[in-house]
Amino acid sequence: MILKRYIPIAIVAIFGSLTLSAWFIDNETIETFANDDATQFFDIIAAFAVFLGALNLLKLQFIKFIKKQKGWQYSAISIISFFFAFIIGFFIRGAYFVDDKVFFTQEAALESLIIVDTSEAQHEESYKVQENSFKNLSDAKDFAIKQNLITPVDWGAHVQKNGSLFQWMFKYIFSPLSATMFALLAFFVASASFRAFRARNFEASLLLLAGIIIMIGRVPAGGLISSWMVMYLIVLVSGLYIHYLKKKNNVTIIFTLAGFILVTTAGMITGWPIDKPSIFYLPLLQEWIYLVPNAAGSTAILMGIGLGIVVTSLRYIFGLEKSYLGE
């Protein structure tokens, strides 16, 4: 009971208090612990969590594949992909450099260095490495390796080094598959946007209007739409809304004509500049929406997330939250 309950709660309370207090107490020791030591603890725990998660995923895929459950073919692809990435990540450096050229294997790099001499003056084949000639291929390879003519990439760096096998997998397999997934996701986003952008009430109408302004204002065609055209459109939409409220044709016609005359007069006086008044020019309007209302909303959301994190942290520290114990 003590090992499974009270000791984990004590560990969480102590380290959680130190980490949380670093944001509010100006103490170099506590700040160093929170920024360096606690971060390293988290990285180590996260690494083990990723390892356990991968094993659990592999276990589930193996069970699905062995029992031939629905979609077992995709499980087979997942298993093969897992072992392929695991092997080239941990056992194959896959990057051997000869000058500016890169090769996946050491054997291929050696073959690029060794020249087979089959001239008529030679009674048998010889192998040349730079200016040195050898009768045996193995001797030529040993010479090239001892002279450091081949530079293998360091372990660990091979996963980020351009030209390595791992980078080849990332560039030509993972990246295209990710792009395909996000391309398919765009259709789901469009469908969700269509359902969300319905003018059922004032809030939904405001969301719809802001979405249309941002989408049109961010494309090159949006800069070609004059602010005066937007003003005419606003007058027309306002007239339709008044007609919806009043149900009187005379009021709608008078309001719409007065609006058109006012906009036309203002345009003739100012010379119809495409970006004036700037409040109705879509590129400037969408930028204002993005920088002011959107920034304010994002800040409010971040403040809410921050308060939620603090409250959740306090629940863990005081032992009120025991989900990590399996309770």
pLDDT at residue 138 is higher than 80: no
**What is the Cα–Cα distance from 260 to 236, expressed in whole angstroms?**
8
pLDDT at residue 64 is higher than 80: yes
| Domain map (residue ranges) of the chain | 2-88, 93-184, 193-305
pLDDT tens-digit map of 69-89 = 888 999 999 899 888 888 888
pLDDT tens-digit map of 90-105 = 887 777 777 767 776 7
Give which of 93, 94, 65, 98 is closest to 79, Cα–Cα: 65
pLDDT of residue 304: 94
Give how far Cα 278 sits from Cα of 122, 224, 307, Å: 84, 14, 38
pLDDT at residue 309 is higher than 80: yes
Tell me if the bond preceding 277 is cis, omega within 30° of 0: yes
pLDDT tens-digit map of 9-62 = 788 788 778 777 777 778 788 788 888 888 888 888 888 988 899 899 899 999
Give how far Cα 14 sits from Cα of 19, 23, 116, 245, 303, Å: 9, 15, 69, 63, 25
Which pTM was predicted? 0.52
Cβ-contact 138, 184 below 8 angstroms:
no
Q: What is the CA radius of gyration of the chain?
A: 34
Give residue 326's pLDDT band: very low, low, confident or very high (50, 70, 90): low
Give the lowest-confidence range in 12-16, 37-41, 112-116, 223-227.
112-116
The mean per-residue pLDDT over the stretch 220-246 comes to 86
